Amino acid sequence: MRLFLVLPIISILNFSFAEQLEKLIFRDKFDTISVWKTYRTRNCYIKISTATINALKFEYELGEGNWVAIERPVKFSLCKDFIVKYNLLTTGEENYLETKIFDKDGSVFGYKLLISTTPTRKEIVIHSKDFSYWWGGDKNLDDVIKIGFAISKRSGGKGVVEIKDLQILEKLKEISHSNATFEDEEKVLKITKENTNNKEVVNINNIKSFYEESINEVKKEINHGVSIVKGIVYFVILALIIVVILFLLAVINLFKKMEYLEFVVKNSEPNIGNDLLKIQKYIEDTKSNLYFISNKIDSYEKDLVELKNLIEEIKSIHSVQERRKSKKKEEIV
């Protein structure tokens, strides 16, 4: 019975899944392309435009030159573990697409990708460990002041590049909900609020609703368990009352038999010996029945103590959940 009551609660409270948190640092949906500037070597051609809604398109021709580039100013700092990702569509000759980051002291870090001659759209995800130091400044990535893309020659010729939804994110530590502390949950809520202010993640009301629904489910399970325990306690109390009544009736019956014994002893014939043996046997049987009833009472008392302990455990779990609910509401508000 204990497992039947506790397991449903554990199944809700002890959900365990790891969540990789990412904090949005920069995003360009290419609503406007005026901030992007073009650069080229001699005898090369490049032109930028908006191919579709929220997409940056640049057409290029390398000719006798080696590269063309587009860059835009930015201002943010990055931790050591970050991600650059965007949606990419390319057509034309086989060349290299370079993704570059410039910091305030002139350091340039880059990642080179060989683009296919077959028109394909794919999601590009570049981790910080994939970037390498290329030139200028020092080998440390300081405050970022500029980002850009470039086409460098492999086959040369013409091509078109289309980029959508450029994002730069910081990767934060992994948190497992099975052993998360209140401090970890505070960090999650803080990051969620920051991203919500940037209008880039789910609204904080959804997070609040999720926690409230989880807590309500736990409360329902606890109340259901308490109701079952109460029913069992009432049943055991009723059973004990019935046993006590039966015990009293047995005692009363025993006294009546003893009175009958006295009457028989006083008024019986000389062959009373046989009757006395029968009465003695009856008394022994009655004692055995009383001993059995006494053991049953002890057993019910032990069950009642165990049920009381179980109720205390459930009340303790319920109290912890109420404190967690109050703290989460305070943090969310």
- Where helices occur in the chain by DSSP H, the ranges are 2-13, 182-197, 204-267, 272-332
**Could you tell me which residue, 108 or 284, shows the higher pLDDT?**
108
pLDDT band at 5 (very low <50, low <70, confident <90, very high): very low
Q: What is the pLDDT of residue 15?
A: 38
Q: What is the pLDDT of residue 297?
A: 83
CA distances from 225 to 60, 73, 280, 328 (A): 70, 61, 51, 24
Locate 130 and state its tokens: 């994939």
**Could you tell me which residue, 1 or 237, shows the higher pLDDT?**
237
Classified as helix, coil or strand, 64 is: coil
Q: What is the pLDDT of residue 185?
A: 52
Classified as helix, coil or strand, 287 is: helix
C-alpha triplet 131, 136, 141: angle, nearest 5°: 45
Q: Is residue 75 predicted with pLDDT exceeding 80? A: yes
Q: Identify the top-confidence range among 47-56, 97-106, 117-126, 283-292.
A: 97-106
Q: Is residue 192 predicted with pLDDT exceeding 60? A: no
Mean pLDDT of 282-286: 82
Rounded-to-integer distance, Cα 314 and Cα 218, Å: 11
Mean pLDDT of 295-324: 82
CATH number for the 23-172 domain, one of 2.60.120.430, 2.130.10.10, 3.40.50.300, 3.30.9.10?
A: 2.60.120.430
Residue in the structure block whose two tokens are 């409270």: 13
pLDDT band at 272 (very low <50, low <70, confident <90, very high): low
Q: What is the pLDDT of residue 333?
A: 61
Q: What is the pLDDT of residue 209?
A: 60
Q: Is residue 24 predicted with pLDDT exceeding 90? A: yes
Q: What is the pLDDT of residue 7?
A: 44
Domain definitions of the chain by residue range? 1-17+177-333, 23-172
Rounded-to-integer distance, Cα 304 and Cα 310, Å: 10
Task: Give percent of the chain above pLDDT 70.
Answer: 77
Are the CB atoms for 121 and 52 separated by under 8 Å?
no
- Range of lowest pLDDT (16-25, 90-99, 230-239): 16-25
Q: Is residue 173 predicted with pLDDT exceeding 80? A: no
Are the CB atoms for 191 and 53 separated by under 8 Å?
no
Q: Is residue 166 predicted with pLDDT exceeding 90? A: yes
Locate 133 and state its tokens: 């130091």
- Range of lowest pLDDT (111-120, 162-171, 276-285): 276-285
Q: What is the pLDDT of residue 154?
A: 92
Q: Is residue 196 predicted with pLDDT exceeding 60? A: no
Mean pLDDT (the chain) is 80
